[in-house]
Amino acid sequence: MTIRRVALMTALMVAPMMAQWGRTANRGYDDRGYRDNDRYETGRRGGSGIGAVERAVQNLRSASSRAYRLDGHERKHFERAMSDLDRFRDNWQRSGSFDRGRLDSAISNMADLARADRVNPRDRALIGRDVNMLRDFRNGGGNGNNPDRW
């Protein structure tokens, strides 16, 4: 084999691996929704901003599935936060009821998780962003706009 042929074969083998590496480098920690989309998905569903709740539920489920070294205390915070957000979302979508108490309970449980040492640091950061997003959602009365923030 000539050097040219070896170089060509090497390039053909390495190129697909490099392309794949770029897609999997952050597997499990996809935060495109915070960067690319309207922060609260206002304008969809009549500007309801419910996307903040849906995103938080999805992130909690992902973080919970990766959290293998949690004790019962942190596990309960995950379960309670997801349950509160699911019930809040169901009531909001079914009857338009904005259950501030249920949302506050979820935010409190998530804030505890954002400070928990046993939760993966990247998941803690993601949950912390969700806590801030949900507080803004709550303070805006469900429409995703917090007039006090600006």
For 25-74, what is each residue's pLDDT tens digit?
A: 444 544 444 444 444 444 333 334 678 899 999 999 999 888 777 788 88
Q: Among 26-30, 58-62, 76-80, 134-138, whose mean pLDDT is lowest?
A: 26-30
How far apart CA 148 and CA 58 sit, in angstroms, is: 27
* pLDDT of residue 148 exceeding 60: no
Copy the structure tokens of residue 53: 């709740």
Report DSSP state, residue 46.
G
The CATH number of 40-139 is 1.20.1270
Please report, rounded to a whole number, the percentage of residues in the chain having pLDDT higher than 70. Answer: 69
How far apart CA 136 and CA 142 sit, in angstroms, is: 9
Domain assignments of the chain as residue spans, ordered by start: 40-139
Q: Provide the pLDDT for residue 59.
A: 93
The amino acid sitting at 65 is: S
Arithmetic mean of pLDDT, 114-136: 92
* pLDDT of residue 105 exceeding 50: yes
Report DSSP state, residue 45.
G
